[in-house]
Amino acid sequence: MTSENNVTDTNVKIAARDVQVYYGDNHAIKDVNVDIEDKTVTAFIGPSGCGKSTFLRCINRMNDTIDVCRVTGDIRIDGEDIYDRAVDPVQLRAKVGMVFQKPNPFPKSIYDNVAYGPRIHGLSRNKAELDDIVERALRRGAIWDEVKDRLQAPGTGLSGGQQQRLCIARAVATEPEVLLMDEPCSALDPIATAQVEELIDELRQNYSVVIVTHSMQQAARVSQKTAFFHLGNLVEFGETDKIFTSPEDPRTESYITGRIG
Amino acid sequence: MTAALQIIGLPLPLALLIAVGVIAAVGYMLTRARAMTRAGGDARGLHSLPRYYGMTAAMFAAVPALGVMVIWMLAQPMVVQNAVLPLIPAAEITSAGTQSLILSDVKRVADGLDVAVAQGALKRADIAAMADDPSGLRETLGSVGVALGSDVKPYVLQAAEASRGLKTKGQSWMAIVVLVLALGGAALALRAADPAFRARNVVERGILVLLIVAASLAILTTVGIVLSMLFESINFFRLHDWKDFFLGTTWAPNFRGDSDLSILPLLWGTLYISIVALLVAVPIGLFAAIYLSEYAGPKVRAVAKPLLEILAGIPTIVYGLFALLTVGPFLVSIFGRGDEGLLGVEWMSGATAVLTAGLVMGIMLIPFVSSLSDDIINAVPQSLRDGSFGLGATQSETVRQVVLPAALPGIVGAILLAASRAIGETMIVVLGAGAIARISGNPFEAMTTITTRIVSQLTGDTDFASPETLVAFALGLTLFVLTLGLNVIALYIVRTYREQYE
Ligand SMILES: Nc1ncnc2c1ncn2[C@@H]1O[C@H](COP(=O)(O)OP(=O)(O)OP(=O)(O)O)[C@@H](O)[C@H]1O
Ligand SMILES: [Mg+2]
């Protein structure tokens, strides 16, 4: 595709080995091995229910909050096993931010929604700094212009697409090293989608971004690497260009040409 | 007709009930069968399933007949009473009180005669012979177990006889009307049983009516309770100045009259004890709810929740005993007894005190607060917790900053509901709080509440014309208005909160 899709840095940020996930007896993720690089956008694609969200949630240990969920295998971020006993999942999640599939603003004001993370982690020394952080996050979430006059209005009063961008702003406000985005644009119009994609591209300068999407065009536009999941298996993983032009696995080809999904 | 039914040896209403039931059952089968026959034996030719045709018959047979029976049985005594009233000489009726006394005498004699006749101690002829001088009747009735307060006067016997006659006649007519209605209803449904008849819709209508009747009964009873309290309260305020009742500061009832009857000291005791109870119940109940819903694993929850709810099933009188026998003496051993006590102070002299009652009532309210709050906290969507965890918040930060604020309106509602229970609670305060009406801030002193005073004003010798007794209704009404207000506010808050996530 375009030249900016070229991978500039090949440092491995997240390394997953033999990851299995079970929900009770349901084997949702089977033997997944993947290396996600730093300063790269990686897209997860695949039919509904194939385990994209599940695998994404392994990376920041959000699956810990589900009682029936069991994760085995080995996931390392910067070489450190995140499922190690010594690792504090709370600390991990501050480093690995997440935007959820369904927008979930807190029942607080727009300002407090974005300031939530910075306040918890003590990222600002005074009110003025916090104001700056909030404004910058809202700008990056492509929602500043719409809400700058009503920062004290409740976040739950926004439209679905605005709520989703608020959640993106909330996630980037804590300056995570890795940002996991689960279908962040599914509720957005084309203009907001373009703005979010711009944000993703900007984030790539510093962070590693993983995005789940059902839009092949979006995966092709924003990502450098693409992983195709099917029935809990990671079928194919590689350069986005290659996956979309000459996939090796027949299942991948069927999916991107619209025959399964 | 009556005779025929009484041959079976059952009391008339029961016999009628069985008869109507049989008619309904037979009507069910016949109508069902007829609908099938008219559809040529193929249920698919019918508008509704065959059983719906049967049900219309059962419904038409039973509902009007039983309804008339119930109303008849409620109305008949009143009609009979009004009919015998002219038989009582006007000179005997000096006031509404004596009239009702005489009428109840009449009823008692009439019932006594029924018993005596049934047991064979009296014959019809005997009664007729006694018409002019019924003084021997008292003894005869006494021998069959009906004790009378005084000798029977001739006009009472006359009225009693008249009412017996009316009653028998009324019962016969009732039996006839009920049976005719039942048979008529069944016949109507049987005639209507045609493949095109929309039996299913008719049954649906019938069920709707049944539900509406049930709902209106519940509401009407409430209205009835309120009205009866209201009337008695109005009687009270005729005898006692309302300003003194609401604004005076002394409660000193005196059954010889001239009492001080003011609600303020009682209201103060009620509120003070309730506040102590809430101070105990709200933090403990809320923390228990947070632990159970946010921290406890499924196994702990499966054990702890029922355990906590057992507390809610303990009768309050048991809590009262606990207050009187355990908590009160325990508190005295801490705050009282001078040098022998734990703190070496002499603040508390008796086991009954605001603190005793408040503490125990608080314990009683813990499961109430915790199970309501638990429901409300569980209603906060998991996605909000995920959002907070996803930003690197700890469990307690999530609870404090996301879950509790989101659940707050509901929790406030739960606390108000608990408060209204505390205000209306009786047994614990009867045993734990003492009986001294006063306005004081000392929690180690005995105080008393509205509910305990209602109990004490209505126990023992009561005269429903004196303000000392009637005040109980005014107290009850005030209490009712108070708790109703709290409940309405609480339900309003809880409801608006529920809508937030729907
Ligand atoms: N909380 C849960 N409890 C039990 N099973 C779950 C849970 N979440 C997901 N699963 C199961 O795991 C499998 C993968 O689900 P997942 O949500 O990861 O799919 P997905 O690829 O994100 O689908 P979609 O594109 O529709 O979001 C599904 O079979 C689902 O039923
Ligand atoms: Mg998903």
Residue boundaries of the structural domains of chain A? 7-256
- Cα torsion angle, B70, B75, B77, B79, sign: negative
Q: Do β-strands A96-99 and B260-261 pair in parallel, antiparallel, or remain unpaired?
A: unpaired
CA distance to partner chain A, nearest, from residue B391 (Å)? 6
The answer to whether A90 contacts B392, with C-beta atoms less than 8 Å apart, is: yes
The answer to whether B384 contacts A106, with C-beta atoms less than 8 Å apart, is: yes
* A53 C-alpha to ligand 1 centroid (Å): 7
Closest chain B residue to A181, measured at CA? B390
What are A194's two structure tokens? 């373009």
Is a pLDDT exceeding 70 seen at residue B318?
yes
Select from B484, B416, B425 the least CA-distant residue to B449. Answer: B425
Spell out the CATH class of B245-500.
Answer: mainly alpha
Distances in Å between the Cα of B356 and the Cα atoms of A71, B325, B336, B452, B454 are 52, 10, 13, 15, 21
Is a pLDDT exceeding 50 seen at residue A8?
no
Per-residue pLDDT tens over the stretch B78-101: 898 888 888 888 777 777 667 777
Mean pLDDT (chain B) is 86
pLDDT of residue A139: 92
Is a pLDDT exceeding 60 seen at residue B3?
no
Distances in Å between the Cα of A93 and the Cα atoms of A188, A231, B391 are 25, 27, 6
Distances in Å between the Cα of B468 and the Cα atoms of B233, B239, B261 are 12, 10, 8
What are B447's two structure tokens? 């105080």
Query: Tokens 């730093």 identify what position?
Result: A38
Is a pLDDT exceeding 60 seen at residue B2?
no
Q: Name the region of A12 (left: φ>0; alpha: ψ -120 to 50; beta: rest).
A: beta
Query: Tokens 């006359």 identify what position?
Result: B158
pLDDT of residue A224: 94
* H or E element that contains A227: strand A225-230
Neighbours of B351 (CB within 10 A): 22
Angstrom distance (rounded) from CA B245 to CA B254: 15
Select from B367, B369, B363 the least CA-distant residue to B277. Answer: B363
Q: Where are the alpha helices (DSSP H) in B240-313?
A: 242-247, 264-290, 298-313
SS (H, E, C) B370-430: HHHHHHHHHHCCHHHHHHHHHCCCCHHHHHHHHHHHHHHHHHHHHHHHHHHHHHHCCHHHH
Instruction: Quote the pTM value.
Output: 0.75
pLDDT of residue A74: 92
β-bridge mates for residue A234, sequence order: A229
Confidence grade of residue B500 (pLDDT, cut at 50, 70, 90): low
Angstrom distance (rounded) from CA B325 to CA B188: 67
Per-residue pLDDT tens over the stretch B433-445: 888 888 888 888 8
Select from A165, A102, A119, A151 the least CA-distant residue to B401. Answer: A119
pLDDT of residue B77: 87
Residues 107-166 (A) with a CB less than 8 A from some CB of B: 107-108, 116-117, 120-121
What integer is the mean pLDDT of B282-303? 91
What are B257's two structure tokens? 């009259």
Angstrom distance (rounded) from CA A249 to CA A245: 12
Q: Percent of chain B, pLDDT > 90?
A: 38
* H or E element that contains A195: helix A190-203
Per-residue pLDDT tens over the stretch A184-202: 988 888 888 888 898 899 8
Angstrom distance (rounded) from CA B17 to CA B5: 11
Select from B343, B501, B328, B303 the least CA-distant residue to B410. Answer: B501
Q: Best substitution site from A20, A44, A52 to test ligand 1's pocket, by max atoms within 8 Å of Cβ?
A: A52
Q: Chain B contacts of A87, Cβ < 8 Å?
A: none
CA distance to partner chain B, nearest, from residue A219 (Å)? 24
Phi–psi pair at B376, nearest 5 degrees: -70, -40
DSSP B53-122: HHHHHHHHHHHHHHHHHHHHHHHHHHHHHHHHGGGS-GGG--SHHHHHHHHHHHHHHHHHHHHHHHHTS-
Amino acid at B299: K
Domains in chain B: boundaries? 2-197, 245-500
CB A40 within 8 A of CB A8: no
Is a pLDDT exceeding 60 seen at residue B4?
no
β-bridge mates for residue A239, sequence order: A225
* H or E element that contains A255: helix A250-256
Angstrom distance (rounded) from CA B268 to CA B248: 12
Domain A7-256 has CATH 3.40.50.300: yes
The answer to whether B392 contacts A171, with C-beta atoms less than 8 Å apart, is: no
Phi–psi pair at A85, nearest 5 degrees: -60, -30
Eight-state DSSP code of residue A183: S
Query: Who among B382, B392, B402 is closest to A93 (CB)?
Result: B392
Residues of B at the A interface, defined by Cβ within 8 angstroms:
297-298, 381-394, 397, 401-402, 405-406, 500
What is the CB < 6 Å shell around ligand 1? A 23, 26, 28, 46, 48-54, 66, 68, 101
Per-residue pLDDT tens over the stretch A111-158: 999 999 999 999 889 999 999 999 999 998 889 999 999 999 988 888
Angstrom distance (rounded) from CA B327 to CA B357: 9
A97 and chain B: CB distance < 8 Å anywhere? yes
What integer is the mean pLDDT of B183-197? 90
Q: What share of chain A is helix, strand, coil (3-state, %, to 5)?
A: 40, 25, 35
Q: Measured over all CA atoms, what is the biggest interatomic distance in chain B, rounded to whole angstroms?
A: 100
Residue nearest to atom 9 of ligand 1 (CA): A54
For the purposes of burial, counting CB atoms within 10 Å of the CB of B167, is it exposed (0-12), middle (13-18) or buried (19 or more)?
middle
Select from B492, B286, B493 the least CA-distant residue to B409. Answer: B493
Confidence grade of residue A258 (pLDDT, cut at 50, 70, 90): confident
For the purposes of burial, counting CB atoms within 10 Å of the CB of A14, is it exposed (0-12), middle (13-18) or buried (19 or more)?
buried
The answer to whether A167 contacts B383, with C-beta atoms less than 8 Å apart, is: no
A71 against B113, higher pLDDT: A71
pLDDT of residue A260: 60
- Cα torsion angle, B323, B324, B326, B329, sign: positive
Lowest-confidence pick of B132-146, B161-175, B267-281, B446-460: B132-146
What integer is the mean pLDDT of A199-216? 90
Mean pLDDT (chain A) is 89
Q: Best substitution site from A21, A26, A228 to test ligand 1's pocket, by max atoms within 8 Å of Cβ?
A: A26
What are B18's two structure tokens? 């069985």
